[in-house]
Amino acid sequence: MSQDWKSDVTKFPRFEGVRTFMRLPYDPEPKGVDVVILGAPFDTTATFRTGARFGPEAVRRISSLLRPAHAYHAVRPTDVLKIVDGGDIPVIPGNTLRSYGYITDVIHSWVNEGAIPITLGGDHGIALAELRALAQVHGPLALIQFDAHLDTWDEYWEEKYTHGTPFRRALEEGLLDPLRSTQIGIRGTVYDPTDIEEGRSLGFEVLTAEKVREIGLEQTIRTAIERAGSAKTFVSFDVDFLDPAYAPGTGTPEIGGFTTFEAQQLLRKLYPLDFVGFDIVEVLPAFDPTETTALAGATVAFEFLSLVASGRKGA
């Protein structure tokens, strides 16, 4: 019997079975796995709405709707990859440093065994813990960040660890190579007219929402690919990259965002890169009454799976 027998909805109803991601096998042991789905239900560093701690649960629940094959990449990920759901990483609400330590340790245990993690957040602050784990194995990484916000602030309320600061901390710790990194979709109101230059001053390529629409999706993704080059690459997708019409369930929404179709088009063009990790963050079910945000998050995670499978299939 194949690994993905339970994901065949023509044989088993979608509402049946344990709520793993896409009803993949649950296996908490980091051995012999190509890709692992992990939940990081932590939102203590959110600066506005909280509740993203329930994001992994919501994404897993709606993921049972997804079918197992990707038409664009012409691949069924479970045919070429061993994929498991490793469950949720233990966290301590209110204790950021200890929770980050747990997230780093668990992800490192998988990465050290050769697995590529796809982490379901949780607020965007978890990215720092993820990058610590990945950089221990791979060294400084290229970052491709889909987001309405730079997340490179120095601090909020004299706190260094928030969901608005992870990539500045990552740079300070030598986890990222900014000259290989691209931030895509930045928009929204700012504290000062010069704020948009924050990422650029740190070395990132910053493509604002206006710039993406000016140069088009193809040139946008070409820029990110050329900049990353052969570097080990981490892709971080904050659902507020999407317009609130498509993803209302998030902590700090910004109008003027992208459609889910545009997001898919961008992600599908990333396949030449050397991926070592992904995340999808800031899904907030309490503001997602029709589960459209959770569905977007689950579909983005499946796009990630299919990118890895497509690369492995073509290797």
Annotated binding site for Mn(2+): 124, 147, 149, 151, 238, 240
Q: Extract the tokens encoding 114.
A: 């050769």
Residue type present at position 7:
S
The CA angle 29-30-32, to the nearest 5 degrees, is 110
CA separation for the pair 258, 93 (Å, rounded):
32
Cβ proximity of 234 and 143 under 8 Å:
yes
CA separation for the pair 276, 116 (Å, rounded):
5
CA separation for the pair 167, 147 (Å, rounded):
12
Beta-sheet pairing, 274-281 with 232-238: parallel
> Which residue, among 242, 228, 255, has the nearest Cα to 295 in the 3D structure?
242
What are the angstrom distances between the C-alpha of 223 and each of 6, 211, 277? Answer: 39, 12, 20
Q: Which strand (E) or helix (H) includes residue 235? A: strand 232-238
CA dihedral 301, 12, 247, 145 (to 10 degrees): 0
Which residue ranges make up the annotated binding site? 124, 147, 149, 151, 238, 240
Q: Is 13 exposed, middle or buried (0-12, 13-18, 19+ CB in 10 A)?
A: exposed
- Residue 239 is given by DSSP the state G
> Which residue, among 141, 165, 117, 167, has the nearest Cα to 277 in the 3D structure?
117
> Which residue, among 262, 265, 264, 299, has the nearest Cα to 280 in the 3D structure?
299
CA separation for the pair 47, 281 (Å, rounded):
14
